[in-house]
Amino acid sequence: MRGDDLRFDEATLANGLRVIGEHNPNAATTGMGYLVHTGSRDETPEVAGVSHFLEHMVFKGNERYSAEDINRTFDELGAEYNAFTSEERTVYFGSVVADRVGALLDVLSELMRPSLRQADFDVEKKVILEEIAMYQDRPSRRLFEHANERFWNSHPLGNSVLGSTKSVSDLSRDQMQAYFDRRYAPGNVILAVAGNYEWDAVLAQATERAGQWPAFETHRDYPAASTFAGHEEIVDANLHRLHAAYYAPGVAVEDPDRYAASLLASVIGAGDGSRLYWELVDKGLADNASLSHEAQEGAGSFVGYVSTDPERADAVLEEYLKVIKDAQEHGITQDEWRRAQLRTATGLTFRAETPMGRLMSFATNYQTLGEYQSLTELVNEVMETPLEAGARLLEARPFDRDYLVTLGPKD
Amino acid sequence: MRGDDLRFDEATLANGLRVIGEHNPNAATTGMGYLVHTGSRDETPEVAGVSHFLEHMVFKGNERYSAEDINRTFDELGAEYNAFTSEERTVYFGSVVADRVGALLDVLSELMRPSLRQADFDVEKKVILEEIAMYQDRPSRRLFEHANERFWNSHPLGNSVLGSTKSVSDLSRDQMQAYFDRRYAPGNVILAVAGNYEWDAVLAQATERAGQWPAFETHRDYPAASTFAGHEEIVDANLHRLHAAYYAPGVAVEDPDRYAASLLASVIGAGDGSRLYWELVDKGLADNASLSHEAQEGAGSFVGYVSTDPERADAVLEEYLKVIKDAQEHGITQDEWRRAQLRTATGLTFRAETPMGRLMSFATNYQTLGEYQSLTELVNEVMETPLEAGARLLEARPFDRDYLVTLGPKD
């Protein structure tokens, strides 16, 4: 919205760190984040979970800022802040009212130079192990941890973000330091800002705070994906519901068909108003029956989920697959496509309503694709993606190479 | 933010329906909602769950608008929309870009005149039963369904929003119609709008669309609460974690001490930076250890949650209670209070960043307390609540009358 007032700012520091911004003079707040282009896909099995564990350790601070100092500073700033780790990136971010941008940049920059003290590491390991253990009582989460690894078939996109109890237990502080020293290169990091800020001041301060971080080379592997196809059943007599995960090969984020794949998944399985919704959820046959598309660097996937009464699981799963295969056999309609476009554009627009929401979209896009896209361009690209692009994707018959795994009380 | 530009609008139609608005000339979108002052606390045991079930039925439409028409209209409008039911209210809401306010008001107003067809009712009952069944594999949800009912001790705030499999199965369409005819009185409904709109146009359209709804009396009971105190253990050998729910008597939403109670809970158990956080979560002893305060009409409660390894459950629960009792015995500090104030003000500010976020705050406040509060007034009230108010609450020793219930694999 108000796209005409927006301005994109972009600079690269001498050490390779890129600073980007989307300036909105009407915004009352400013979002800011360091996006590190590293995640579980960059881990070897011995250090599985290190990216996420490191994200936690970053908040333990350094010689100048203790964990308590960091916590207090964010509170005093009135900042909303957090961090997350995915397969592809680790992001540290915060939002403040616009006149506190400088102080936010200071504390976020401190975070990026963590001491990784042994004593902190030993305690934080327990925190991570608790987080892993927490999911034991969440069957859908357990299911997807298993399914993602199996589907990707030793491709690094199948690496678990949390790691396992064993891999985290075995991890040493020095291994984490080595990972940091290998992955947190300035050239592998973007500092992004969105909302109301003064570009010259941000750039000068970024140069002062981050410009001296030593530069070095980093590398990400992009092996070819050879995904797993087939059916699996996991029986857990303690469960009450039948949970199913569904995967099929999709397209990579750099593929021009990435929007077509998202729209196709939306027609088939969006949470509301899709074929799967009308056939299974709206009829009260399943509490969830969905399909979405995830585009990552170098590879993508269609990912679905079904949850239902074990007594009718066979019929529900049959119908679930039938809806997907019918779309592949007979295609989808122009009306369905247009409504998926409208829903997708609406979602993009409302997620971009705040500076932080906008930052997550444009900075992630920039980090992955190397170019800036305004919200208007993004929405236009979705609205101009033709039905024929979806039809072409179906002609490649992605759902012939699908993987379905169930977790439930019966075999 | 930008509080100086805001204007509050208010009118009451001849049939008692109130129309309120918070106009923000800088907003690019507009949020709108019908807030019905009815929820599970207004249900008798025979119709437990009818408020929530009715919320679903509303989207089935009437003679002029089918379920499909409703779905299509929201899609075409580019609206984000949804509904929810709580103990106290049922809310139907949507957001659009500002020039589509009229069309959004049209479709939301249609929703409020549902046909409640028998055929739709029979199918939707299955949807509700699936939603109830879904929680069987979510132990924390099961725990709180039980704990809330037990703590409130036959007070209507203990009524389940979803109802039970039995109550929903037994419910008839005519019982739902009778509930609608008793509770959906115009005088029991508020139409609220936030963001960019033309007040005269909204009011004229509201009068045309809703002004002829017949007026009648409604009534909500406010019995005195006599909450349950004690300890309970529920054993489920199938679980992997120990889940505990904690309750203690709090203050009602109309109590001047409602902010003090929230701040007190924040010092003791906010998700980040609280005493419970530092003692249990930060040390890796529990994946969750929290306390918050819920202020409802006529009564309130402190509500907490702990999740941990069953092997150390005794020690963790002992520490959890010790942290709370220590606060009661020895009080809290000015520094802790101030940081809780800052955190709370920050949360309020960022939740108000979008018109829809703002609407949920001011319209709910207005419905409950009968007065408008701007964000600035709200933040000031939080920041000006003195530590002494928290100390006074502790002097009443609320945590002496607490209730703790565990759900886990061991007895």
pLDDT (tens digit per residue) in B75-95: 999 999 999 999 999 999 999
- Ordered alpha helix ranges (H), B212-255: none
Sign of CA dihedral A56, A58, A63, A64: negative
Least CB–CB distance from B134: residue in A1, A129, A307: A307
The alpha carbons of chain A give a radius of gyration, in whole angstroms, of 22
How far is Cα A191 from Cα A211, in angstroms, rounded to an integer?
Answer: 12
Do A282 and B123 lie within an 8 Å CB cutoff?
Answer: yes
**Interface residue B1 vs chain A (CB under 8 A):** yes
Share of chain B above pLDDT 70, in %: 99
Strands, E assignment, B313-353: none
How far is Cα B31 from Cα B28, in angstroms, rounded to an integer?
Answer: 10
Q: Does domain A230-408 have CATH number 3.30.1490.20?
A: no
**Interface residue B312 vs chain A (CB under 8 A):** no
Least CB–CB distance from B273: residue in A75, A97, A339: A75
| Residue A130 to chain B, least CA–CA distance (Å) | 5
Chain A, 158-197: which have a CB under 8 Å from a chain B CB? none
Least CB–CB distance from A283: residue in B123, B136, B354: B123
Strands, E assignment, B140-198: 189-195
Do B131 and A287 lie within an 8 Å CB cutoff?
Answer: yes
Provide the number of CB pairs (under 8 Å) joining chain A to chain B. Answer: 140
How far is Cα A362 from Cα B330, in angstroms, rounded to an integer?
Answer: 49
Q: Identify the CA nearest to A20 among candidates A41, A38, A6.
A: A6
**Interface residue A52 vs chain B (CB under 8 A):** no
CB A265 within 8 A of CB A292: yes
Report helix, strand or coil for B154. coil
Residues of chain A found within 8 Å of residue B287, distances taken between Cβ atoms: 130-131, 133-134
Residue-level pLDDT at B290: 98
How far is Cα B142 from Cα B408, in angstroms, rounded to an integer?
Answer: 12
CB B82 within 8 A of CB B137: no
Residue-level pLDDT at B35: 98
Query: In the beta sheet, which residues pair with residue B290?
Result: B305
pLDDT band at B160 (very low <50, low <70, confident <90, very high): very high
How far is Cα B26 from Cα B49, in angstroms, rounded to an integer?
Answer: 40
**Using CA atoms in the order A367, A369, A373, A375, what is the torsion angle rounded to 10 degrees?**
-80
* Residue B154, phi-psi category: left (phi > 0), alpha (psi -120 to 50), beta (remainder): left
DSSP A25-93: TT-SEEEEEEEES--GGG--GGGTTHHHHHHHHHTTB-SS-BHHHHHHHHHHHT-EEEEEE-SS-EEEE
Give the distance between the most distant pair of CA atoms in chain B. Answer: 64
Residue-level pLDDT at B3: 52
How far is Cα B40 from Cα B43, in angstroms, rounded to an integer?
Answer: 5
Neighbour-count burial of B106, counting CB atoms closer than 10 A to its CB (0-12 exposed, 13-18 middle, 19+ buried): middle
Residues of chain B found within 8 Å of residue A307, distances taken between Cβ atoms: 134
Residue-level pLDDT at A26: 87
Supply φ then ψ for residue A317, to 5 degrees: -65, -35
Residue-level pLDDT at A272: 87
Least CB–CB distance from B134: residue in A72, A272, A287: A287
Do B272 and A130 lie within an 8 Å CB cutoff?
Answer: no
| Mutant choice from A75, A77, A124, A234 vs B, greatest count of B C-beta within 10 A | A75
What ipTM goes with this model?
A: 0.94
Supply φ then ψ for residue A347, to 5 degrees: -60, -45
pLDDT (tens digit per residue) in B256-308: 999 999 999 999 999 988 999 999 999 999 999 999 999 999 999 999 999 99
Do A240 and B129 lie within an 8 Å CB cutoff?
Answer: no
List all residues 6 or more positions away from B95 whose beta carbon is below 8 Å from its beta carbon.
A350, B29, B30, B31, B32, B79, B80, B81, B195, B354, B355, B356
Give yes or no on whether A3-210 and A230-408 have one common fold.
yes
Residue-level pLDDT at B98: 87
CB B162 within 8 A of CB B14: no
- CATH number of A3-210: 3.40.50.620, 1.20.120.530, 3.30.830.10, 3.30.70.20? 3.30.830.10
What would the two tokens of residue A4 be?
């005409």
Q: Identify the CA nearest to A267 among candidates A155, A406, A391, A149.
A: A391
How far is Cα A291 from Cα A302, in angstroms, rounded to an integer?
Answer: 7
**Interface residue A45 vs chain B (CB under 8 A):** no
What would the two tokens of residue A404 be?
């379905």
List all residues 6 or more positions away from A120 whose beta carbon is below 8 Å from its beta carbon.
A57, A60, A67
Secondary element (H or E) of residue A94: strand A90-97
Give the distance between the most distant pair of CA atoms in chain A. Answer: 64
Q: Identify the CA nearest to B75 among candidates B49, B54, B55, B103.
A: B103
List all residues 6 or more positions away from A354 whose beta carbon is below 8 Å from its beta carbon.
A29, A31, A95, B350, B353, B354
How far is Cα B105 from Cα B111, in angstroms, rounded to an integer?
Answer: 10
How far is Cα A146 from Cα A245, in angstroms, rounded to an integer?
Answer: 10
Q: Please list the ranges in chain A whose pLDDT falls under 50.
A: 1-2
Asked whether the predicted pLDDT for residue B4 surpasses 80, the reply is no
**Interface residue A127 vs chain B (CB under 8 A):** yes
CB B116 within 8 A of CB B134: no
Q: Identify the CA nearest to B307 among candidates B356, B250, B242.
A: B242
For chain B, the average pLDDT equals: 96
Asked whether the predicted pLDDT for residue B366 surpasses 80, the reply is yes
**Which sequence spans correspond to the domains of chain A?**
3-210, 230-408
How far is Cα A195 from Cα A209, in angstroms, rounded to an integer?
Answer: 21
